[in-house]
Structure formats: structure tokens, C-alpha cells
Structure 1
């Protein structure tokens, strides 16, 4: 009881972070990546100074613009007081640290902000020179070239970009294996750099795991994303840029997400808030423990640590609380696309620094609209399943069926699962280091049941709602529902299956699954 009282006391003393309660369908961890505006002000005054003058700006204007541009760069994943590792490797400045680096950072941030202000235009060096003093022209060129050739500016599907693609290649030839988003984006970038490009796709459609299906009958249809569906953060997300360039509306996934118990009754708000705080506090404790354990945490699963902590602090002991906590565990398994028992306690959140900030959104009409735009002007051969890739100093040979394609280089963008199955033979074999990485790296599993109804009986004010399970091992079974009625053209609903339930889902009869999810919906109050 002492442990529990101490734990619950700490929970009540823990401040509720902005968005922590309301954004649970898309939340991955307890913390949030907020930057301190006071520290930003101090940094601008102390480190950047006012030596870099943009033309026709007062000192006060310069300081405000520099601060704003720094915040924009930060939201795009750039540090405000340092260089990216890629920038260091590229040698963007002659000496690390000091005035030149600080000035470079200001110029870099200015270029990023200027293009993000209007992503439909091709931003040239001449445009930037209009607002940057001539004495910093060498830094301008260095920053511009880095941002351009690493795909931070002047990318996408805006008509001016397509018009600038040269008709004749001069930089060599590249075969791209796979017409998913990665392959298509790479193809467009290489074409703009004057490479000759051809894309080989095994399926008879582009997009890879992005696939929008038209569903319904008798005049009641909806476009539903059966694969990747949510744009998770739009600040640094290139998909958000594509949507802006195409003027496609984005629907922000609204924060409201009511939860329902297994008997269909709504979850008590007070218990809901309490358990969510317990969940976040448990994750905080995991972070503290792994810091104390060091390398010993490498081979311990996140699931076992969370359950040990739950028992140690004797929290979420009642049936209602345990079912709620299981729902949050299921949501965490959804965010990580895997069972908590298969996630490392030491590394489960190692990708957090690379998460993209901003709203989570649905794309009106489905993500196929982005795929369609990326395909324009790209030579793609469908139904070409690649079996062999030969590479060497003289170039590459890619064999698909009875055909052989030759080029200077090959870029392989096939899914990790294809590489694991060794369905593509590389000659010579890939280096042992790469093979070991392919074997070590895992990929997740998420299943969906997509449905179209006569009307949105669950309420047009909801984008998400959740359902609790009686048992821990089925906690991920239809635990979250996404409503696409705002963007799909019809009353579509998608039920998500994560964690252990997603694995079991693979072996079950589809009609049985559909009957089960409909039973859950029929028994849920207020839906």
C-alpha cells in the first residue's frame, strides 16, 4: 500500500502535458517535444547576434525574423544551435564552431523558411540573394546546395518543378526497384538532377503499401486507405508539402476520442484520466530504470518491465482500471506496430528524436492522390518482379522475368520483408554487415477491417473512438476505430487490430471477424 500511495501521489503531482489526454489515438510516449521560447530568445541574443543583415531590415525586424526562421527550422528537424551530422560530413563550413558556423545556421534557416513559405515555387539562389547580404554569398551557396541536393527544398510535384526536369540526361542512368513512395520520390529527384531513370514495379499498380480502395455499393461509396492512412505530423513531413502543392485539403484528426467498456458503457472520465496518468508515469519509470540498468536493459522487453512496475506499485488493480491500462498498452503496440513483449526496453523509443511535429491528418480523397501525382512523368514498368541484381564497377544488370535492364546504378526500395526472404539474389552477395542489419531489423504488423455504412451512426463529430477488451491478450482487437466520413466521400469506418491480436487475426475467417466487429459496434452505447 505504501508503494501504491506514493506512486498515486506522484501521479497527482505530475503536470498534464499539452495534448496528453486528448491525442491518445496517435500518441506514442508520455513526453512531448516542446521547445522553450525563452531559451530560444536567449540563444538568438547570445549566439546568433545581428551580424548577418538581410537587406532593408531594421535590427528589430532582423531579430524577429531570425527567431521565427529558427523556430521553423527546428520544426523541420534542424537544431537551432548546431549542424546536422550530414552537414558536418558535407563540409558546409570551413571550421566547426564560431562565427562562420553561426552565420551559416542563420542563412540555412532563412532558406528553409523562405521555401516553406511557398512550396509551389522553385527557390533559386538569385531569389535568396535579394534578402541576404552579399558578404555571406559563400555561405548562401553552401547552405543552398546542401538543402537542394539532400531534398530539403525544391522537391515535390509542383508544375514548375516538372517543367525544370531536363529532357536529356547527362549524369548517368539509374534503375529503381519498387514504385512505392520512396521509389517514386527518388525517381523524381534523380530526374531533376539530370539522371536517366526507369522504375521496375512487381505489382500492376504504384504506391506500395499506400493503397486507396473504393468501397461500397448502390450509390453509397467511399475511398478508404487500406494501407498507410494517417499523415502523422505535417511540419517536417514531405507528404504535407505534396498536399500543399496539389491544394488537397487536409483534415486534422480531432482530439476527441471517447472510450467504451466491453459492455458498451462509456468509460468514467475520472478513471480515464487517472489511468492515462498511470500509463504515462509507468513509461517515465521505464526510462529511469533503463538509465540505471545500462546495458542490462538491452535484452529485457518493454512489456515485462511495464507489467513488473504495475505489480510493484500495485496500480490499475480494479477490472475497469486494468482494462483501461490494457487499452493504452494496445495503443502503444499500435504506435510501434508490434507486441510489447517483442520491444526492447532499452530501444523501443529510439526513433522519437525523428518524429515529425504538427497535426495528424487525413488526406481528402485518400493518399492515392499523392501517389498519382508522384507518378507523373516517371517511366514505370509494371509487372516486373526483380529476381536478380548484378552489380560491379562496370554498372548493373537487373533481371525481371525474361528481361534484363542495364544501367550505371541501381536503387533498391523494396520492403524489408522482401529482403528478409532473400527473394532477390544479389551478385555478388551483399556485404555481411548489410545482411546482418536486414536480419536484425524487424517490421511491424497492423490489421484493419474497413466498412462502409448507410450513414455515420457513430456521430459526425468523431474521428476516432476506442473499445476496451475483457482480456489482456485480446486488448488490441478492434481497440480503435477511425472514421473517414470527412474525407472519403462516404460514411467509412476502419477498425484497427494491433499487438498479439493482429497476429491471431491472420489465421481467422474474415466473415467471423466482420461479425465480431459489428457486434462490438451494436453493443456500444452512444455509437
Structure 2
């Protein structure tokens, strides 16, 4: 079923040694030039980007005995996971949920680190209001019926029109009369709830293959009680991190990668045996990092068909709770995606917060005061003019962030899941990780985390003699031999 939100879940365990060895056998031979012996490296591996992908990779590479230097353009670690605090309430400006508890490696990591998790968010019990503030009593049954029809159309389009957009499919289904039981306004809202909120993308630009992009884990979506920050701090504990270091170029030679860095307006060059790039795909699309030699045509195509969407968060704290008990509150908005989905944080953490998720493209153009006022107009349309004003607000602006330029990845029209595999392919001594490069679990913290482990396994096999490797597969093999 397509019923929203797609349980975007998470990841498999790290690469086995066998798969990593198989991959490494295809590498070109090292240059035997004697000058390599005397070459000075700043680290065995330089990791670019201190989000979950970069930190997971750096932590694993260090555990494997390699020297690692992690470069981050921002003045903080975390990338698109950014926690601020209001007392006991963790305010997540970016990543918020662990999607799917069952077999989720980040859930296991949280348990190992003693990080508690909230109750799961009950998305399926959402209350739905129309554009006039009246509750739509049968909205859930309409959504289930709508979902069944759309699922049939998705199967047809994947077979005969795999390069179409979600909007093309929806227009076809609507013109056929198969969705005649739902109003145009509710139909538009369902598209937003099911697809656009899930992928932070407009349906007109979203590939129909997004319906089968990635895998799902069961178990519901909890939040880390103190946010993702403690988890990130644990991962970075013993890593050499340089903040405020923006990588602007990567230059490969026979035996090294020169990493050109801008720090406080001054460029410097660092040398490494392998570079791991974990920046968002939007940074690559914008050409903010130069490559010499340039990336392959195959890689450039993959970069361009993977989009990065706009999804922002508006946290509002109130002196009292006046809204429904349901975990999710949906509103048919006059402008699709603009203050149409609210999450009842009070039902999850006990704190009097409402969280709006907005995919509206022009939201960031407004001032904080203008955004809050517009949000309040929508809430007054549901709950009346007498509701209190918020005492605090926190608003994200990921599209205007120069180091993310968007929220998370999606497949553009014409894009295929295989493009994520191509994005993950190394180019010489440069490796690539990040949520956009994980075919099974894109657009999640979990996908980012495991993509980092994936590349750490590849790099370990390249740089260390197999007899010295400490990969999980080898540890198991050694244990069996000892027994």
C-alpha cells in the first residue's frame, strides 16, 4: 500500500568482506613509482562532510586503524541533522524521525549509546480538515480508496510509462473518472500528503519510479528523545574534525588526491590517499566542488536526475494545548503543501508544541514574523480566533542554506533507482556517500549512515592488507577458526 507516510526505514548491516574484496579486484593497480614511498599525506582518508554519512565512515575507518581527517564547511557537525533545545524539548530543524524501528541500525546505535526513543508517531490516525475548517469525517476511508486506485495506476505506469512524473499519472487517473469519489481539493491534498511531503518534491518533477524507490522497515517512527545531537557527538568523539573548512576542489593524481580547502578566505591544499565525499547532491549539481579530472558522463547524469527537494519546519510553542489529540493534523490548504500538515508534538513528548511540515517552494522568502502569522491564520481557520499566540518559534530554511541547498533527495522525472547506484560508484580515488547514494534507503538518516559504512568497507579493503583488516565478516571468520 502507498498509505502515507512511507515507512522510510533503514538499512542493512555493513558490507561483508567478500563483497568488498570483489569490488576491490576491479580497481586499477597502484602506481609503483618510488616517489609514492616518500609522498607525504595529511591523512590516509579525508572525509568531506560531517553529517551522518561522513561521521559513520570516519568512525569506522578509524576503528580499522586508518588515519582520518574530517572536513566540514559549517561551524557544527551534523549536516542536515541539526538539534537545538528548548528546555527538555529537542527541536529538530532537519532530520526528525527514525523511520521504522525493526532491525534499524540507528535504533540499535541509540540503545548502545543509552539514548531513549519517543513513542512512535501515529500517522494513520490523522484528523483531516477541509479548506473551511470543517472536519472530513470519512477522510481516512477516502484516502484508503484513493490509495487503491493510485496503486493500480502506479503499476501500469511503471510498466508502460516508467519515465513519467507522478503528476502525469495523477492527471490520467483523475481524467478517467476513477477518482471521481474524491473532490479536486482533497485529491490535490492526498498527492501532497502521500508523495510530496514524503519526498519533499513537487509531483510534476517527481518520477513515477519514486513509488518504488527504496525499502520499508516496520515498527513505526520514533524520535530520539534528546534529538540526533547526542548520537552525532558520540560518533565524532575520537575523530579529527576541522570545522569551517569548505572543500572547493578535488584533484587526482596517480597516487593521491589533493583536496583544496577554503578556510577563512584562504585556500590550502591537503593530500590524501583516498577522499570520501558525503556532501548533498545539490552541492555537486551546483558545481560548488571542482573535479580534475572531471567526473565521468555517467556520474554527471546520475547527479542531475537526482533532485533535492524543499521541505521546511515551523515549530510553534503555545502556553496551552488547544488542538486535537491526534498525532497528525491535516488541512486542505489553499496552496498545496503550505501549512497543510501539522504534527502534535504534545502527544509525543508532552511539551505544548505544534510542528508544521511545509513543501511550499516560496516559504523561505518570508520573514519569521510573516511565516508565523500565516501559520496562525491556518490554525485559526480550524480552531477559531481565540487560540493563543505562540510564545516561541523555530523555522528552518534548508533551501537557502549554502551547504545543503535543500532538504533531501528524490528521483526527478526520468530518474531511476539505478541512478543512486551510479552516484555511489567511486571515481578513481574519490568515493561517494550520503542518503542520495543509498538505493535501498534514500532520503533517510539511516540511508546516510549506512552509505558511510559501505564506503568505509571499500576504502579499508583498498588501503589495508587483507590480513590486517578488522571487518565484521573477518572477525566472524576468525572466531569460527578459533573454535
**Could you state the TM-score of these two structures normalised by the residue count of structure 1?**
0.62
| Cα-to-partner distance string for 1:178-209 (whole Å, 9 max, x where unaligned) | 10110000001101111101101111000000
What is the match of residue 125 of structure 1?
none
Match of 2:162 among 290, 294, 298: 298
Match of 1:430 among 270, 286, 295: 295
Match of 1:338 among 201, 212, 215: 201
Instruction: Answer 1 or 2: higher relative contact order, Cα 8 Å, separation at least 6.
Output: 2
CA contact (8 A) 2:192 2:337 kept: yes
Matching of residues 44-193 of structure 1 within 5 Å: 89=19, 173-193=44-64
- SS of residue in 1 equivalent to 2:308: coil
The verdict on how the C-alpha distance between 1:266 and 1:479 changes in structure 2, with shifts beyond 3 A counting, is same
Task: Establish whether residue 348 from structure 1 lines up as the match of residue 210 from structure 2.
Answer: yes
| Cα-to-partner distance string for 1:86-144 (whole Å, 9 max, x where unaligned) | 7885689xxxxxxxxxxxxxxxxxxxxxxxxxxxxxxxxxxxxxxxxxxxxxxxxxxxx
The verdict on how the C-alpha distance between 1:77 and 1:200 changes in structure 2, with shifts beyond 3 A counting, is closer
Offset, 1:256: 2.7
What is the match of residue 240 of structure 2?
379
CA contact (8 A) 2:128 2:136 kept: yes
| Cα-to-partner distance string for 1:21-71 (whole Å, 9 max, x where unaligned) | xxx552379xxx9xxxxxxxxxxxxxxxxxxxxxxxxxxxxxxxxxxxxxx
- Unpaired runs of 5+ residues, structure 2, are 23-42, 388-483
Match of 1:455 among 301, 309, 320: 320
The verdict on how the C-alpha distance between 1:489 and 1:242 changes in structure 2, with shifts beyond 3 A counting, is farther
Matching of residues 222-261 of structure 1 within 5 Å: 222-251=89-118, 252-254=120-122, 255-261=124-130
**Could you state the TM-score of these two structures normalised by the residue count of structure 2?**
0.67
| Cα-to-partner distance string for 1:434-460 (whole Å, 9 max, x where unaligned) | 12221222122112212122233325x
The verdict on how the C-alpha distance between 1:369 and 1:316 changes in structure 2, with shifts beyond 3 A counting, is farther
| Cα-to-partner distance string for 1:140-186 (whole Å, 9 max, x where unaligned) | xxxxxxxxxxxxxxxxxxxxxxxxxxxxxxxx711101101100000
CA contact (8 A) 2:7 2:220 kept: no
What is the match of residue 311 of structure 1?
175
Cα distance in structure 2, aligned partners of 1:77 and 1:183: 18
Cα distance in structure 2, aligned partners of 1:422 and 1:291: 32
| Cα-to-partner distance string for 1:318-361 (whole Å, 9 max, x where unaligned) | 6xx3333322111121112211111223x122324x33332111
Cα distance in structure 1, aligned partners of 2:58 and 2:143: 44
Offset, 1:488: 6.0
- SS of residue in 1 equivalent to 2:307: coil
What is the match of residue 81 of structure 1?
none
What is the match of residue 327 of structure 1?
189
The verdict on how the C-alpha distance between 1:375 and 1:304 changes in structure 2, with shifts beyond 3 A counting, is same
Offset, 1:229: 0.7
Cα distance in structure 2, aligned partners of 1:274 and 1:407: 57
What is the match of residue 150 of structure 2?
283
Q: Whose helix proportion is higher, 1 or 2?
A: 1
Match of 1:263 among 132, 136, 141: 132
CA RMSD, Structure 1 to Structure 2 (Å): 2.9
What is the match of residue 390 of structure 2?
none
- SS of residue in 1 equivalent to 2:295: coil
Offset, 1:480: 0.9
CA contact (8 A) 2:157 2:164 kept: no
- Unpaired runs of 5+ residues, structure 1, are 1-16, 34-74, 79-83, 93-171
The verdict on how the C-alpha distance between 1:175 and 1:486 changes in structure 2, with shifts beyond 3 A counting, is farther
- SS of residue in 1 equivalent to 2:204: helix
CA contact (8 A) 2:313 2:355 kept: yes
Larger radius of gyration: 1
What is the match of residue 27 of structure 1?
6
- SS of residue in 2 equivalent to 1:199: strand
Cα distance in structure 1, aligned partners of 2:67 and 2:278: 17
Cα distance in structure 1, aligned partners of 2:315 and 2:248: 33
Cα distance in structure 2, aligned partners of 1:357 and 1:201: 34
Cα distance in structure 2, aligned partners of 1:462 and 1:273: 13
Cα distance in structure 1, aligned partners of 2:222 and 2:273: 39
